[in-house]
Structure 1
């Protein structure tokens, strides 16, 4: 019996591997080349890079266990939503960053979430914080960073990481992400996706499902027409508020503020 051997060019092989990897994503959107396991490995590496970077004043859980109990409970409630595709796969580890002058929060691949004390103290309600957390969880869950990496680095480098052929590449990419992550910027489309998802996540919680809009409403009420640096590429606050509220109306979810949240006591811990 004669056996036939199929010889694939390098480009064809890359395409075949890309299709195999791309078929595994749970979200109904553009699928990144990175696998979910690659997301997790990259996120863990970025988290380690941040932990080793003295410019990040990280608050250890052992130094403020009550504050961590509060914010972890909030995150866990958001993650209970069936809309979170990778709620059981990603780490979903929250770290508080001690800097009262920074209004920021960000998430790395694999669900590592960082929240600055300045943002927490700026937000007036637990619903607003839940909205921001929902938004950041969505960035990780929708794998926005991985989708950006595919555009930035192309298939070849990501393939070498995915196949374990270049161990230094993972560390290199992680280091670059860690160096810019505090000012991480996404496209308007990615921001709109995360805003919409935050509404759906919060619809299953005690918090107002349009909580993400409250941050932008605070900016507007204080005449801060220019968002903080990490929002510099986002649509205007006015448009964000309108779009988030429209999504909440379409979803028919509760926009009433949560009661007895203990948010002021939480802020006092920081």
Structure 2
């Protein structure tokens, strides 16, 4: 009976999956896809504003023009030159680059800090252009959708509930496999576009080396700080630079080049002069255990050793052992109600205990203990609300259930009471750190540069990383190198 049910379902599958043959722009062959080019472009157009809402564009028109000019030259020699490509530098310290369907390509200012030539920038952009020209997102979407449809239809026809799960697992494996294949294909195409534009395709190997070093350092630092590492998603981060297949595609692309390859190191270093490194002024700046926000005009001091994570909508500080935390957010005030009522009505807190009114200078507030649901169960946490103009400042913190839940209460209250408007001296500290390019002398050493650097943690390692000298080596006399100040 189940075999007959499957036979009955096959014609339905044919009807569902029939409308999907398209010419592959790269190979010229026929691909089975479930999205037209117009739909692909429309999807990218829809997602682009959502990306910019999460990560705004970096405000440097000259740098944006430079990145766009490099990307457009590569795109003009790609397999889909008729697309209008949009290249955006995102204001994010994360090391990343990615592409959306239809020609929307993004690089973060974080990744730009670690590149050292125009050829390396072209390698990153060429890789992402390769994803677009080969329509990888469309092909992965088709794989996932086809597998999902197949699993759902089989499960419904046979009555075997596990069939859908099996199809889902198989679909995940297929997509992951295609992803690895697609990354190598994107590198092959990127290397080809580099060669067509006079760059040495081996710049891709240099990028891999730099980003592998950065990834190793980031993973170690993330482990120390008890958080997830922020690493580049692409093949650069998953393949060694001696990968045989990658060496083969780069060698093949190198045969396409004519004449001496250009590197563009000086042009690139000129373009990133003044690039923000680390926290941006827009999101606020961390310096040790202190946090400064220029636009919002405030500073906070956290307990020594606490790790501060500056997220787009909140600050989260964690104890060195990871057994306590403090979260700070700001939200609009819309009604003139007492701070205690704000806790109850806006924060949804119940059974407030040990409540008392507090005042911090001109700021009126209230604090209390209330239990809330957390990832570690229902815990009693310290809550503080302070009114500042038309904003409510909300602090929530405590310890986990493993010991005294109030053992960090004094630290939390000290942090709350450290809130204040920026002093004239602190306004300078609230400025973002920036990359500057200098020329090395015979006596230039990274250890000496690190001693005078404002980079708060591992300054020597970070200076080595952004200059391609990690973990050892010193700059040559006369070489242009990047510092942070």
TM-score, normalised via structure 1 length: 0.71
What is the alpha-carbon distance in structure 2 between the residues aligned to residue 155 and residue 110 of structure 1?
Answer: 24
| Relative contact order, higher structure (CA 8 A, sep 6+) | 1
What is the alpha-carbon distance in structure 2 between the residues aligned to residue 212 and residue 57 of structure 1?
Answer: 27
Is 1:109 equivalent to 2:101 in the alignment?
yes
Conserved? CA contact 1:39–1:110, under 8 Å: yes
CA shift for structure 1 position 113: 0.7
Give the equivalent residue in structure 2 for 1:47: 48
What is the alpha-carbon distance in structure 1 between the residues aligned to residue 79 and residue 214 of structure 2?
Answer: 36
Give the equivalent residue in structure 2 for 1:178: none
What is the alpha-carbon distance in structure 2 between the residues aligned to residue 123 and residue 66 of structure 1?
Answer: 17
Cα shift readout 1:164-219 (whole Å, capped 9, x = no counterpart)? xxxxxxxxxxxxxxxxxxxx997211111011111111111132223222211224
Give the equivalent residue in structure 2 for 1:36: 37
What is the alpha-carbon distance in structure 2 between the residues aligned to residue 67 and residue 233 of structure 1?
Answer: 23
Give the equivalent residue in structure 2 for 1:56: 55
Find the residue that maps to 1:198 and give its secondary structure: helix
Find the residue that maps to 2:127 and give its secondary structure: helix
Q: 2:247 aligns with which of 242, 245, 248?
A: 245
Indicate how the Cα distance of structure 1 residues 127 and 186 shifts in structure 2: closer, same or farther if over 3 A, else same. farther
How does 1:121-136 map onto structure 2 within 5 Å? 121-136=113-128
Conserved? CA contact 2:25–2:79, under 8 Å: yes
Consecutive unaligned residues of structure 1, counting only runs of 5 or more, are 1-8, 158-183
Conserved? CA contact 2:17–2:146, under 8 Å: no
Q: 1:266 aligns with which of 256, 262, 271?
A: 271
Q: 1:224 aligns with which of 205, 216, 221?
A: 216
CA shift for structure 1 position 120: 0.6
Q: Highest Rg: 1 or 2?
A: 2
Conserved? CA contact 1:33–1:155, under 8 Å: no
Conserved? CA contact 1:58–1:98, under 8 Å: yes
Q: 2:139 aligns with which of 144, 147, 159?
A: 147
CA shift for structure 1 position 220: 4.8
Indicate how the Cα distance of structure 1 residues 220 and 47 shifts in structure 2: closer, same or farther if over 3 A, else same. closer
Give the equivalent residue in structure 2 for 1:168: none
- More divergent stretch after superposition (104-113 vs 227-236): 227-236
Conserved? CA contact 1:199–1:244, under 8 Å: no
Indicate how the Cα distance of structure 1 residues 210 and 72 shifts in structure 2: closer, same or farther if over 3 A, else same. same
Is 1:17 equivalent to 2:19 in the alignment?
yes
What is the alpha-carbon distance in structure 1 between the residues aligned to residue 181 and residue 242 of structure 2?
Answer: 13
What is the alpha-carbon distance in structure 1 between the residues aligned to residue 267 and residue 89 of structure 2?
Answer: 18
What is the alpha-carbon distance in structure 1 between the residues aligned to residue 88 and residue 236 of structure 2?
Answer: 25
CA shift for structure 1 position 14: 3.3
CA shift for structure 1 position 116: 0.4
Number of aligned positions between the proteins: 224
Indicate how the Cα distance of structure 1 residues 123 and 49 shifts in structure 2: closer, same or farther if over 3 A, else same. same
Give the equivalent residue in structure 1 for 2:185: 193
Find the residue that maps to 2:73 and give its secondary structure: helix
Indicate how the Cα distance of structure 1 residues 208 and 115 shifts in structure 2: closer, same or farther if over 3 A, else same. same
Indicate how the Cα distance of structure 1 residues 123 and 113 shifts in structure 2: closer, same or farther if over 3 A, else same. same
CA shift for structure 1 position 72: 1.1
Indicate how the Cα distance of structure 1 residues 238 and 25 shifts in structure 2: closer, same or farther if over 3 A, else same. closer
What is the alpha-carbon distance in structure 1 between the residues aligned to residue 236 and residue 89 of structure 2?
Answer: 24
Conserved? CA contact 1:32–1:143, under 8 Å: no
Conserved? CA contact 1:185–1:231, under 8 Å: no
What is the alpha-carbon distance in structure 1 between the residues aligned to residue 45 and residue 56 of structure 2?
Answer: 18
Indicate how the Cα distance of structure 1 residues 123 and 248 shifts in structure 2: closer, same or farther if over 3 A, else same. same
Question: Which structure has greater strand proportion?
Answer: 2
CA shift for structure 1 position 26: 2.4
